[in-house]
Amino acid sequence: MILVTGHLRLAPEDMERARPHMRAALAATRNEPGCLLYAYGEDVLDPGLVRIVERWQDWPSLRAHDKAPHVVTWRAALKEIGVIDREVLAHEGGEVRVL
């Protein structure tokens, strides 16, 4: 399993503009083969910060996601809106424990 974690930082006043694009990316991605979890969460204590959590079945699924048309559209929207900061990391997971 591949775990992707990270964040995007947008200007707080741009969040409303970003939400429809986020919804579209989330809805399309959740239907992709190999997508186990795909979620964005707005940090309630840090306006403009969007936390990213994803789980993918395998690397090929994640690579295919990266080239999907809705991802290209999402990246274009982000470019237009303006990203202040971004960090997204992929981790290969093995053992999973329910806490």
Which domains, and CATH codes, for the chain?
A: 2-92 (3.30.70.100)
What is the distance between the alpha carbons of residues 83 and 67, in angstroms, rounded to a whole number? 20
pLDDT at 95 over 80: no
pLDDT of residue 87: 97
pLDDT of residue 94: 76
How does DSSP classify residue 58?
S
Query: Could you tell me which residues come within 8 angstroms of residue 37 by beta carbon, excluding any fewer than 6 positions away?
Result: 53, 54, 55
* pTM listed for this prediction: 0.90
Q: What's the average model confidence in pLDDT over 9-24?
A: 97
pLDDT of residue 23: 97
Per-residue pLDDT tens over the stretch 21-60: 999 999 999 999 999 999 999 999 999 999 999 999 999 9
pLDDT of residue 98: 84
pLDDT of residue 16: 96
Mean confidence (pLDDT) of the chain: 96
